[in-house]
Amino acid sequence: MSQAIHNPTLAGIDEHSAVSASFIIEPLHTGYGMTLGNSLRRVLLSSIHGAAMTAFRVEGVTHEFTTIPGVVEDVVDIMLNIKAIRLRSASDEPVEVTLEKKGAGVVTAGDIKLTADVEVVNPEAVICTIDDPKGSVRIHFVVESGRGYRTLEESSNKRIHSDMIALDAFFSPVQRVRYKVESTRVGQNTNLDKLILTVDTDGSISPKDAFEEAAAILVNQYTALAGSTRVEAAPSLIGGDDDASNKLMMPIEEMNLSARTTNALINNDIRTINDLVTLSETDLRELKGFGSKALDEVKDALAGMEF
């Protein structure tokens, strides 16, 4: 019997919204659900590439502990609002952008005059409010790319203009990551792990792109440490090609079973073909509302499918 550790597959992606998705990884070697889940979570939260504003200057203002004529918010409040603006930047160098607004009204991130390299993800974000019909505000910003968190002291040291107010910057576009590990089985292998990793982003990157970048970072790190040593991996337990994996994630409804059999499977929380093939014949017989006729129907349908 081979002692090689099999590779898992990305069995499915459950997209909750444009900024949230769950990644189902299975089957994993015993204990690897926690190993992969924890490492992916840490990299997702700390190391995904993003952009943020690192400095700004309001014309007519010399320091942050003051107010602006005709503007409701003071400069400290404006600083906090600026840090809530989420961005995409295609440049590796600092990019300067400007905002100019005249007349009474709310000033938002959508009022910023952008360059071709910078995009605002949440243009509705409020920066300040002008309450004087004759009032105006002009603000200069510096947008930078980076990873993780940059302290106020670091931003101060790296300012490209000494008269600008530095900001601490959170570059990571990933806002939240959580995971859980469940047991799964494939055939006679009953002690395998299934990892469900849920990623929430700020909209500047898709959860899928963030997930793949985190995995690529880990691959690079471990490859650098492995030197010339290579370990043979056993084939995936549920098939090695994309076509087979796609078939396994098909909904039960696409098997063209009778309504009675389909409902019996769904009522037992068996919703995909992968959920079905991980069960033995004995397991299927023990399902509530699932009789011998339904079992024969399922066996015939699976026999007609090519994996």
Q: Give the tens place of pLDDT for each residue, 269-297.
A: 888 887 777 677 777 888 888 888 888 88
Residues 133, 232, single domain; the answer is no
Kindly report the CA angle at 118 between 115 and 119, in degrees rounded to 5?
115
**Residues 5, 29 contacting (CB under 8 angstroms):** yes
Residues 41, 104, single domain; the answer is no
Q: Inform me whether the pLDDT recorded for 303 exceeds 80.
A: no
Q: What percentage of residues in the chain have a pLDDT greater than 70?
A: 91
Mean pLDDT, residues 240-264: 74
Residues 87, 148, single domain; the answer is yes
Position 80 confidence tier, pLDDT thresholds 50, 70, 90: very high
- Give the CATH number of the domain where residue 252 resides: 1.10.150.20
Measured between alpha carbons, how far is residue 186 from residues 132, 177, 290 in Å?
69, 27, 21
Tell me the residue type at 211: F
Residues 163, 198, single domain; the answer is no
- Give the CATH number of the domain where residue 227 resides: 3.30.1360.10
Can you say whether residue 227 is alpha, beta or left, with left for phi > 0 and alpha for psi between -120 and 50 degrees? left
**Residues 20, 207 contacting (CB under 8 angstroms):** yes
- Give pLDDT, residue 245: 54
Residues 19, 157, single domain; the answer is no
Number of independent structural domains in the chain: 3
- Give pLDDT, residue 17: 95
Helix (H, G, I), strand (E, B) or coil at 63: coil
13-27, 102-116, 246-260: segment of lowest average pLDDT: 246-260
Residues 154, 224, single domain; the answer is no
**Residues 147, 46 contacting (CB under 8 angstroms):** yes
Residues 55, 113, single domain; the answer is yes
Mean pLDDT, residues 83-89: 95
- 154-195 tens-digit pLDDT: 988 888 888 899 999 999 999 999 999 998 877 667 788 999
- Give pLDDT, residue 239: 52
Residues 227, 131, single domain; the answer is no
Question: What does the alpha-carbon distance between residue 77 and residue 66 come to, in Å, rounded to a whole number?
Answer: 10
End residue of a domain, out of 132, 149, 170: 170
**Residues 139, 1 contacting (CB under 8 angstroms):** no
- 106-131 tens-digit pLDDT: 999 999 999 999 999 999 999 999 99
DSSP classification of residue 300: H
Q: What percentage of residues in the chain have a pLDDT greater than 90?
A: 56
Residues 76, 138, single domain; the answer is yes
Residues 181, 39, single domain; the answer is yes
Measured between alpha carbons, how far is residue 273 from residues 238, 250, 305 in Å?
11, 6, 11
Structure-model confidence comparison of residues 39 and 266, the more confident one: 39
Q: Inform me whether the pLDDT recorded for 53 exceeds 60.
A: yes
Position 2 confidence tier, pLDDT thresholds 50, 70, 90: very low
End residue of a domain, out of 170, 185, 218: 170
Residues 177, 97, single domain; the answer is no
State the average pLDDT for the chain: 88
- Give pLDDT, residue 228: 84
- Give the CATH number of the domain where residue 74 resides: 2.170.120.12
Residues 163, 213, single domain; the answer is no
- Give pLDDT, residue 1: 37
* pTM for this model (two decimals): 0.74
User: Strands 189-201 and 126-130, how do they pair?
Assistant: unpaired
End residue of a domain, out of 145, 170, 195: 170
Question: What does the alpha-carbon distance between residue 294 and residue 274 come to, in Å, rounded to a whole number?
Answer: 18
- Give pLDDT, residue 185: 76
For residue 112, the enclosing domain spans 49-170
- Give pLDDT, residue 240: 47
**Residues 97, 119 contacting (CB under 8 angstroms):** no
